[in-house]
Chains A and B, each alone.
Chain A
Amino acid sequence: MYSLIRILYSATRREWIAYRRTFAAICFMLAALSALTVLLSPSTAAQAGLFTILTTSGMTILVTVTLATEMWTRDLSASSSLARRLPGGLGAMACSKLLFYGIVQAAALLWGAMVGIAAGIAVAGPESLASVAADLPLSVLPAMSIATLGPWIGAVTLWGAEGILAIPGVLFLFAVSGVPVFATLGEDAPQFIQALHFGSADTILFLMSLAISGALVASITLIRGRRFDRRAAAGACTGLSVVALLLIPTYTLAFGAVRNWEAATPDYARFQIHGAVLAPDGARIWVNTRSDKHSPWSCSVIRTSTGEIRRLGGRGEMVRSPTRDYRTATSPFVLHVDREGNPLAIFDSSSGRSLPESALKVALDQRQVLRLPDGSRVTIEGDTVRSPLKSGKTVSLPWYRDATPVVHLGFGVATFRRGRITILDFTRGRTFPLPQQFVDRPSRLFELRILRSGSWFIPTGIDDQGRALFDPDTGTLRDARGWKPFDLARGLYGKNGLLVVNERPGKHGAKVVILDPETGQRDAIRLPSSRSMFRFRNPAGFFFGVDLGPNRWLLDVGPGFAVLDLDSMSIGEPLLADALIGRVGESFFALAGRKTIYQWKPLTGELRAVFPR
């Protein structure tokens, strides 16, 4: 062991003797250039942190280019083959070259840092040390990246591309090595790379792997490929064989990672679906998943025909529907966003194809955000909202795309923009500022319903338990008829009625009541359980809903859902599920246990598990 250390020491010293002048010249050159910078452009040197990055990187580049391109082939010439014919042979030669290269690169890094610091101090004084200390990791990383190329450059010089030619040779090798990766990932490459979430520790690990593999390739090329006076071609064969051998496990691991990335999390026991976007044709369901409420989001797409799931992105990324009016509506577009909400890609939700960014703009401009309680649509086109009036005419009102949030009020909406609330009344085709009754108590806005008759149904009284009909044109109030204590307004439906739930907890359960506040008429139906709640319909009067048509409501009969048909005043068979995803034709997609997606046809009672199969 001791003799081995002595051999390494003497061989490394021999390399030092060979290159000490070159190294000294590089050190001097860097110092001279830095001194010139201090004299000619003090402002550059004053940014000590940045300048130190430049000096360390510059030093490393110079050392890599001068040493790595020459030192490996130097002892293969007939006039300098002493190291080759000694008992230590090529093994000792390879080890000493690697050792020397590492030492010199460390020394180069140190010298580069010292020169940068000295320049900073010369221009900006000792205070500049703080910025150097802050940017020190940034100095080390680029230098390390450059230095790791050294062994690879050395290997390529042994393959015949000697001198400066070895640098493009290495770049070509890396490019060729990367072809299968890019061929596999295709257009998913940016998403996959983003999904890797490379931290600085990962980067250092990667660079170390790169350096070690480069050292291995160069050493084996020298020791095996160039022994017995073999030519460069033999070295290239050996070296490239080692590269291929190294790439096989690398590719295996990488492709395994791609497969894991594309598939849903393998930890299915902890897999939970927390949000979903349904394609209009029901072909795909785009889901946001997480293992538990503390774990980061991820997103996947499920093909409903096969149950196949494919992961879309990395940790913290989600899918959203930019054009969906409410949570359970279908959406032709799906927006893939990063953890900060920045868009990564836009997909056609049915085909799964990636779309250009312009498609989203068109979709946003032409989306239909509202359905009125009578089933008619309100469309938004650019900065204009178009609404059909009772008379059959269409009225256009100004619409601000940055107005948020929008509160649906039945035959109208409230928009918030720059601290100002505006109410769009579609029965009158006009906009109104917030009435005085709401100025002091803005929460009342969420109870406001604009009826088909044009009356505004608003809370009154100290505790907001009463209701009145308000005329925004005249500002007059009159009592709403038929409203009773324990009534809770849930929405509007097409027959100018107000849907209310009359709750009497602990007694006879709840009732659904159709109330006409103009006349006071009440039509009631008893709910199957006291816990039943109206959750979904269309957005006219409530935020979220499955669009079942003007007179159909989906009833949360907790646990599960049933369809309430207000025309026939009947309730269908319930589905045991905890969330609804959306509806396509007669089929509903529902989520049970946050894991299982069912396709349900309430009219026939047909039920099919979509995911997992």
Chain B
Amino acid sequence: MREIITVRKLMIKRSRQVVLDGVDLDVAHGEVCVLVGRNGAGKTTLFHALLGGLNPKRGLIRVFGKDPVRHQRYVREQIGFVPSIPDVPSEMTFNEIAAFMEPHFPSWSATRLDEMSAWLCVSRGVPFGTLSKGQQMKAMLALALAHDPKLLLLDEPFGGIDPIARKEILEGLIHSIQPMKRAILIATHDLDAAARVADAFLVMKGHGRIHKRMVEDIAEDTRPVTETLLGALKRIQTKESTPCTL
């Protein structure tokens, strides 16, 4: 299986604090991975590192086989990113944001954007700041998918939104996965929602040590998914004698 993301012994410092240390990660083409971990475990930092927005202190990151810092443009053109807090200017409308983003992505498709925004029922003509949290997330997802990315990074897409919006986002996500078989990395605390799309769970603990469990392995367990993951975490804790980060 061809790897989309390869991370080895990654160490990242922010403001002289070690945020990630010794992270190893592999995400293959078409694989949907759910990243779980406590707040502050380094999920968002890992996403920014994958986007080339942070410079590793040590270790290796390869996205599509390239260093995202040195080949920032190439890597970013093939990634769709939905941040946990929408980072678009609040005074801009969906259409204005789309017009702003479009020239950056050679593969941008207005048709795809229209299709996704229609599917997700995104309000396109009002300032982004006036939209609800769920609307904002759906808009961000539509924008992230407009250039048909090979890798989709979703940082807490279900955080703070109502169940209906969560269902719509989830359906949008499933809708986007099916034709492309793109790799997706989702950081979320909503494990039940994540379990509907995940191929694997990545359990992140202190300084970003990641333990990967394939869904097939978890499926053999009769307990609910959440309990299985907690069990997996307990095993990591016992082995390394460090505090729980889930």
Q: Within the complex, what minimum Cβ distance (angstroms) separates B55 from chain A? A: 4
B162 within 8 A of A: no
Which residue of chain B lies nearest to A88 when distances are taken between CB atoms in the complex?
A: B104
Find residues 61-115 in chain B having any chain A CB closer than 8 Å to their own CB: 72-73, 76-77, 81, 83, 85-92, 96-97, 99-106
> What are the interface flags for B98-142 relative to A under an 8 Å C-beta threshold, 1 for contact and 0 otherwise?
011111111000000000000000000000000000000000000
With a cutoff of 8 Å between Cβ atoms, the chain A residues found around residue B97 in the complex are: 82
Q: Could you tell me the distance in whole angstroms from the C-beta of A222 to the nearest C-beta in chain B?
A: 14
What 0/1 pattern do residues 43 to 72 of B give for CB contact below 8 A with A?
Answer: 000001001011100000000000000001
Known interface pairs A89-B72, A229-B14. Does A78 touch B103 (Cβ–Cβ under 8 Å)? no
Enumerate A68-87 residues with CB–CB distance to B below 8 Å. Answer: 78-82, 84-87
Q: Name, among A6, A14, A85, A87, the residue most crowded by chain B CB atoms within 10 Å (CB to CB).
A: A87
Query: B91 to chain A: which residues have CB within 8 Å?
Result: 17-18
Are the CB atoms of B104 and A7 closer together than 8 Å?
A: yes
Interface of A, helix, strand, loop or mixed by DSSP? helix
- For A188-230 the 0/1 string (1 means CB < 8 A from B) is 0000000000000000000000000000000000000001110
- Please name all residues of chain A whose beta carbon is closer than 8 Å to the beta carbon of B242 when the two chains form the complex: none
A318 to chain B, nearest CB (A): 62
Q: Are B87 and A82 in contact (CB under 8 A)?
A: yes
User: B89 touching A82 by the CB < 8 A rule?
Assistant: yes
Least distance between B212 CB and chain A CB atoms (Å)? 26
Report whether A81 and B92 are in contact in the complex, using a CB–CB cutoff of 8 Å: no
A85 touches B99 (CB 8 A): no
Which one of A7, A9, A14, A78 has the greatest number of beta carbons of chain B within 10 Å? Answer: A14
Interface: B15 (CB within 8 A): yes
In the bound complex, CA of A81 to CA of B72 (Å) = 16
Question: Do A85 and B87 form a contact, CB below 8 Å, given A229-B14, A229-B48?
Answer: yes
- Judge whether A86 and B88 touch: CB under 8 Å: no
CB contacts (< 8 Å) of B83 on chain A: these are 81, 85
Q: Are B88 and A82 in contact (CB under 8 A)?
A: yes
- Give A228 to B104 CA distance when docked, in angstroms: 20
User: Is A3 part of the binding interface, using a Cβ–Cβ cutoff of 8 Å?
Assistant: yes
Question: Interface readout for A1-37 with B: 1 if CB under 8 Å, 0 if not?
Answer: 0010011011101100110000000000000000000
A231 within 8 A of B: yes
**Distance in Å: Cβ of A440 to nearest Cβ of chain B:** 93
Q: How far is the CA of A231 from the CA of B16 in the complex (A)?
A: 11
Q: How far is the CB of B114 from chain A (nearest CB, A)?
A: 18
A78 to chain B: which residues have CB within 8 Å?
A: 85, 87
- CB A96 to nearest CB in B, in angstroms, measures 10
Chain B residues whose C-beta falls within 8 Å of the C-beta of A81 in the assembled complex? 83, 87
Distance between Cα atoms of A85 and B92 in the complex (Å): 17
Name the one of A14, A80, A85, A92 contacting B81, with C-beta atoms under 8 angstroms.
A85
Task: Give the docked Cα–Cα distance between A11 and B92 (Å).
Answer: 12
The residues of A that contact B105 with a CB separation of less than 8 Å are 87
B243 to chain A, nearest CB (A): 26
Of chain B, the residue at the smallest CB distance from A80 is B89
> Does A86 lie within 8 Å of B53, measured CB to CB?
no
Given A14-B100, A80-B89, decide whether A87 and B53 contact each other with a Cβ distance below 8 A.
Answer: no
**B66: min CB distance to chain A, Å:** 13
- The CA-CA distance from A14 to B128 in the complex, in Å, is 13
Is the CB–CB distance between B54 and A13 below 8 Å? no
In the complex, the answer to whether B15 meets A231 with C-beta atoms within 8 Å is yes
Residue of A nearest to B97 (CB): A82
Q: Which residues of A contact B87 (CB under 8 A)?
A: 78-82, 85
- What is the bound-complex CA distance between A88 and B105, given in angstroms? 9
Cβ contact within 8 Å between B54 and A9: no
Kindly report which residue of chain B lies nearest to residue A21, judged by CB atoms: B91
Residues from chain B with a CB closer than 8 A to the CB of A231 are 15
Beta-carbon nearest neighbor of B16 in chain A: A231
A82 to B76 Cα, complex, angstroms: 12
Taking CB atoms, residues of chain A closer than 8 Å to B48 are 85, 229
| Residues of the B chain whose Cβ atoms lie less than 8 Å from the Cβ of A11 | 100
Please judge, given known A-B contacts A9-B103, A229-B48, A229-B53, whether A87 and B77 are in contact too, CB under 8 Å. yes
Q: Which residues of A contact B92 (CB under 8 A)?
A: 14, 17-18
Collect the chain B residues with CB atoms within 8 Å of residue A84's CB.
Answer: 53
Specify which chain B residues have a CB less than 8 angstroms from the CB of A228 in the assembled complex: 53-55
Given A81-B87, A89-B73, are A229 and B54 neighbors across the interface (CB < 8 Å)?
Answer: yes
Instruction: Give Cα A144–Cα B224 distance, bound, in whole angstroms.
Output: 69
Candidates B72, B102, B106; contact of A10 at CB < 8 Å: B102
**Complex contact A85–B89 (CB within 8 A):** no
Across the interface, do B104 and A86 meet the contact criterion of CB distance under 8 Å? yes
CB within 8 Å for A10 and B14 given contacts A79-B87, A82-B87, A89-B72: no
Q: Indicate which residue in B73, B85, B90, B99 contacts A87 across the interface (CB closer than 8 Å).
A: B73
Interface centre among A18, A85, A229 (most CB of B within 10 A): A85
Complex formed: what's the CA distance from A18 to B106 in Å?
25
User: B32 to chain A: closest CB distance in Å?
Assistant: 22
Contacts of A79 in B (CB 8 A): 85-87, 90
The answer to whether B76 and A86 touch across the interface, beta carbons within 8 angstroms, is yes
Query: What's the nearest-Cβ distance from chain B to residue A122, in Å?
Result: 35
Please tell me if the beta carbons of A18 and B89 are within 8 angstroms of each other in the complex.
Answer: yes
A3 with B106, Cβ < 8 A, contacts A81-B87, A229-B54 known: yes
Closest to A3 in B: B103
Q: In the assembled complex, how far is the CB of residue A225 from the closest CB belonging to chain B, in whole angstroms? A: 13
Contacts of A18 in B (CB 8 A): 89, 91-92
CA distance A84 to B101 in the complex (A): 11
Measured in the bound complex, the distance between the Cα atoms of B101 and A10 in whole Å is: 8
Q: A85 to B100, alpha carbons, bound, how many Å?
A: 13
Q: Once the chains are docked, how many angstroms separate the CA of A228 from the CA of B100?
A: 22
B76 proximity list for chain A (CB < 8 A) = 85-87, 89
Kindly list chain B residues whose C-beta atoms are within 8 Å of the C-beta of A6: 102-103
Q: How far is B72's CA from A85's CA once the two chains are assembled, in angstroms? A: 9
Q: How far is the CA of A14 from the CA of B100 in the complex (A)?
A: 7
Bound-complex Cα distance A239 to B168 (A)? 46
User: With the chains together, A564 CA to B233 CA distance in Å?
Assistant: 118
Question: Contact at A13–B89, with CB atoms within 8 Å?
Answer: no
Q: Which residues of A approach B to under 8 Å, CB–CB?
A: 3, 6-7, 9-11, 13-14, 17-18, 78-82, 84-89, 92, 227-229, 231
A-B contacts, 29 listed (Cβ < 8 Å): A6-B103, A7-B103, A9-B103, A13-B100, A14-B96, A14-B100, A18-B89, A18-B92, A78-B85, A78-B87, A79-B85, A79-B86, A79-B87, A80-B89, A81-B83, A82-B87, A82-B88, A82-B97, A85-B48, A85-B53, A85-B87, A86-B76, A86-B101, A88-B104, A89-B73, A89-B76, A227-B53, A227-B55, A228-B54
* Further 18 A-B residue pairs, CB within 8 A, beyond A85-B51, A87-B77, A229-B48: A3-B106, A6-B103, A9-B103, A10-B103, A18-B91, A18-B92, A79-B86, A79-B90, A80-B87, A80-B88, A84-B53, A85-B48, A85-B76, A86-B104, A87-B104, A88-B73, A227-B55, A229-B53
Which B residues are closer than 8 A to A by beta carbons? 14-15, 48, 51, 53-55, 72-73, 76-77, 81, 83, 85-92, 96-97, 99-106
Closest 8 CB pairs of A and B: A6-B103, A87-B76, A81-B87, A7-B103, A228-B55, A86-B104, A87-B73, A87-B104
